[in-house]
Amino acid sequence: MPIKVLHIDSNHPILWEQLQEAGFENHADFTSTKEEIEAKIQDYQGIVIRSRFKIDKQFIDKAINLKFIARVGAGLESIDCDYALSKGIELIAAPEGNRNAVAEHTLGMILSLFNKLNLADSEIRSGQWNRESNRGHELDGKTVGIIGYGNMGKAFAKKLRGFDVTVLCYDIKDNVGDENAKQVSLKELQEKTDVLSLHIPWTPETDKMVDAKFINAFKKPIWIINTSRGKNIVTADLVAAMESGKVLGAGLDVLEYEKLSFETLFQDKNTPEAFQYLLDGRKVILTPHIAGWTFESHERLAQVIVDKIKAVYL
């Protein structure tokens, strides 16, 4: 009997096509509620999802025949991983699929902040020609500190090879440094860093990790780039650090206030005071969780997922 796979989110068509060619039986449901999906999930051995809803204990208990959950993305935080694994369910993600996109986006944010590209562009469009106030900084000669040296961190460090910079990395795993970044202690990274780039998952250990105490432990004023997860930074503490000059600028592709689905920004209609500061800030670049979302990564993510599913079941 073919393995029946339920696609809960839309993805690049090669995912569907190649699974079908390999003998899997595809079904799609992009509109039903979580409860409606739960009512029929016992009929499926596989799920392909992006971030439409959380796959929790209740969902997994309904999925009595599930063999795998494939998330077309880098992280698995929308899944109760421990419980799924306890049920013998294979978990598949695709950080290899969008690591290059994240790396390029991160570098673009740094260069835009340093050279005030967004600000200068908006001023010219409004009739202002301000050269001195838009004097920029050069990346050469700086120390870039990367926290989280997995797929994303390594890809970003590779992009920095064309610059005359020192690249340091910190990770909870030992011996992950390479020719592109020297692995150091968190203390050393905080002593030497000019530009901090976060490439960490959202876990209980990283939740609200970048708070006032963490930021103030840096010896020098820093720029902060976050293309990982919004809840890794306490926004109010980031804003306070920007007001004091401890943080010189921020490039944020992710925000503390995002919903888990990443499709909308706020849980309610109120704009938090700290976020309003970011909206009004002249030293801030904001993007809507798109660092890993390019035309190329859209296809590459799907291909990685297909290849991993086939490697396990064929």
Active site members: 229, 258, 289
The single residue listed with the structure tokens 């969780």 is: 289
Beta strands in 204-313 (DSSP E): 222-226, 247-252, 284-286
Instruction: Answer for the pair 191, 216: CB distance below 8 angstroms, yes or no.
Output: no
Instruction: Answer for the pair 211, 241: CB distance below 8 angstroms, yes or no.
Output: no
Instruction: Answer for the pair 119, 285: CB distance below 8 angstroms, yes or no.
Output: no
Distance between CA atoms of residues 130 and 90, nearest Å: 56
Give 183-189 contacts, CB < 8 A, sequence gap 24+: 183/149, 186/147, 187/217, 189/145, 189/147
In this structure, how many other beta carbons lie within 10 angstroms of the beta carbon of residue 177?
A: 18
The single residue listed with the structure tokens 């938090």 is: 272
Distance between CA atoms of residues 274 and 170, nearest Å: 28
Q: Which two tokens stand for residue 119?
A: 């600000």
Q: Is 146 helix (H, G, I), strand (E, B) or coil?
A: strand
Q: Is 147 helix (H, G, I), strand (E, B) or coil?
A: strand
Distance between CA atoms of residues 168 and 189, nearest Å: 7
The single residue listed with the structure tokens 């692995």 is: 183
End-to-end CA distance of the chain: 13
Q: Which two tokens stand for residue 37?
A: 């999906």
